[in-house]
Amino acid sequence: MVTIYLLIILVKILIIILPILIAIAYLTLIERKVISAIQRRKGPNVVGFFGLLQPFADALKLIIKETILPSIANRIIFLIAPIITLTLSLMSWVVMPLNDGSVISDIYLGILYIFATSSLGVYGIIISGWSSNSRYAFLGALRSSAQMISYEVSIGLIIISLLLCVSSLNLSKIVYFQKYIWFIIPLFPIFLLFFISALAETNRPPFDLPEAEAELVAGYFVEYSSMSFALFFIGEYGALLVMSTLCVILFLGGWLPHNYILLGAKTCFIIFIFVWVRAAFPRYRYDQLMRLGWKVFLPLALGFVVLVSSVIF
């Protein structure tokens, strides 16, 4: 009986994880196509019709490349770090409701679980930077961890304002609560704070300071190659997909009023905004990034918590 139950859970996980991995692959193609259109040039258009097989060509290239391990690296920890990053990126989908009843584990503390797994992602980054024994990688890891911790504080307070309206941490209940009006309408300033914080949380431009090519070469994964680099790459774009879907569930009514197809359409729209921001805005300086997080977003998030709780209670 226990074996059958575990088998059912495994099948459910595969049904969700495999489409997500394909979605991540095509997310890279969408990003390159959108940026090329904004910059008035051609994107990938050689491999397959309209470049549709480009993600598989990139994956094949990374698979057949030689894995190079630095001679001074702590090899075991060096190889574990990208696995941790990818695993934590995929774990968030366990509690993500994609349709009415379509969720692997509909736990009461769903939103808390997502932020716990995203917070643990810092460990993969710190481990990769330290185990590389490279100054560039270590500086990139320190930057990334400081950035993620700073903006997680703001995101937590932003979410509190929304949870005060719902009185529940369950993601499905948050979606059902938006049956008549999406939270983006009454809580639009909070949505803007959440979206900008999500950019910083996922190390996306204009907040991609840990990967600043000018001074840090490539950040914490500068020493990685082949599939170990690909795992970091998939984990980063997986985190982008998680934050986009979470943005839709919290502020845009999730799958309402129809089904998971509408959830996918809304998520694609949020992803398009992520990509558009990358193409349109220059990179911040690191001091500007930290000042924005601690001196602007944190006081604003606290103010909105007081305002929303005053209005409701």
Write down the pLDDT at residue 214: 55
- Contact yes or no for 153/230 (Cβ under 8 A): no
pLDDT at 273 exceeding the cut of 90: yes
Give me the pLDDT at residue 269, please.
92
How far apart are the C-alpha atoms of 136 and 222, rounded to whole Å? 7
The pLDDT of residue 270 is above 90 = yes
Angle between helices 188-201 and 226-251 (to 10 degrees): 170
Least confident of 48-52, 94-98, 145-149, 213-217: 213-217
CA atoms of 135 and 114, how far apart (whole Å):
31
Q: Give the pLDDT band of residue 115 (cuts 50, 70, 90).
A: confident
Q: What is the pTM of this model?
A: 0.89
* pLDDT of 259 above 80: no
pLDDT of 295 higher than 60:
yes
Residue that wins the pLDDT comparison between 260 and 297: 297
Rounded Cα distance between 121 and 84, Å, is 7
Residue 216 has pLDDT above 60, yes or no: no
pLDDT at 299: 92
Per-residue pLDDT at 94 exceeds 90: no
pLDDT tier at 43 (50, 70, 90 boundaries)?
A: confident
* Residue ranges per structural domain of the chain: 68-312
